[in-house]
Amino acid sequence: MSSELDGGDADDISPISVILPAEAAGINKLSLPNDGVVSELQHHFIRSINSTLSIRQLPSQGLSFQLWPAATTLVNLLDDQRSHPETNPLTPILTASRDGSERRTLKVLEIGSGTGLVGIAAAATLGAQVTVTDLSHVISNLQFNVEANASILAANGGFVQVAPLHWGEAIDPELIGREFDLILASDVVYHDHLYDPLIQTLRGFLLGGGNPKMVFVMAHLRRWKKDSGFFRKARKLFEVEVLHTDPPPPGSRIGVVVYRFAAKQSKKPAIGSSNQG
């Protein structure tokens, strides 16, 4: 039996079967008359800022345009961190990133943003400067959702910019940047052909000479047994630990697990341990 550090030991589950159901998210369906595409407007109330984020989904356009369960787990953690920092697992990471200064604006990158809910929530709850990224064809919907929540972001000192990012390709520092404090992602490990490109991209940020304190926080809902392959590869390069686990929803054996990835710390030899002439 594999551990949560290997992604868990659940049976294979189709990704499509674990998209967040509409009845669990308060979704209002709207028909777009111009091109016939059905959009779903999902409202997510953030208690700590007393505001509701509005996120447009376009189910017919593919998985990247829909809300996944792990995204709501990260949003709930961000919401709770603002209201109950003393018990929240994100607090040590955020405190270290700010170097003890609550006034310093955090720079956050979200990869595989999809609808952008996590990145927008991070900007609003943390007052952070956030860059949300995904494949080029997802960018227009990401930009729509950022603009739909512009007033909430402004009221809470947050800012979100949108940029394309293709995993495994060279990172354009002028377009995206490298000096981030925190990288966020949710439900990005589900196709094995993307494991290596994702790890290459994480390596570029976490081990590429940027901020040495940068960490990657990923919420993951296990779908395939082969997910463990990603974690085995990742642990060769990064320190990986479990930050938080959601209990399985009714009728399921698995829940969302939140992981922290960081560059491995070099082990310095003990004083006096080296051989002397």
CATH class in words for 40-263: alpha beta
Residues of the chain where predicted confidence (pLDDT) is lower than 70: 1-36, 100-101, 209, 266-277
DSSP reduced 3-state for 140: helix
Q: Which residues contact 82 (CB under 8 A, 6 or more apart)?
A: 48, 49, 125, 126
Token digits of residue 149:
């929540």
* Rounded Cα–Cα distance for residues 207 and 132 (Å): 20
Asked if 4 and 242 count as a contact pair (C-beta separation under 8 A), the reply is yes
pTM of the complete model: 0.86
Nearest in space to 185 (alpha carbons), one of 170, 201, 171: 201
What is the distance of C-alpha 62 from the center of its chain?
19
Nearest in space to 56 (alpha carbons), one of 45, 66, 70, 71: 66
* Rounded Cα–Cα distance for residues 258 and 246 (Å): 8
Token digits of residue 152:
């909430």
Q: Where do the structural domains in the chain lie, given as residue ranges?
A: 40-263
Q: Which residues contact 132 (CB under 8 A, 6 or more apart)?
A: 110, 113, 116, 119, 120, 142, 146, 160, 161, 162, 163
pLDDT at 28: 52
Q: To 5 degrees, how large is the angle CA 73–CA 207–CA 112?
A: 35
* Rounded Cα–Cα distance for residues 39 and 188 (Å): 22
pLDDT at 168: 93
Q: Please state, as a whole number, how many other Cβ atoms lie within 10 Å of the Cβ of residue 216.
A: 22
Q: Which residues contact 264 (CB under 8 A, 6 or more apart)?
A: 237, 238, 239
* Count of positions (residues) in the chain: 277
Burial class (CB in 10 A: 0-12, 13-18, 19+), 275: exposed
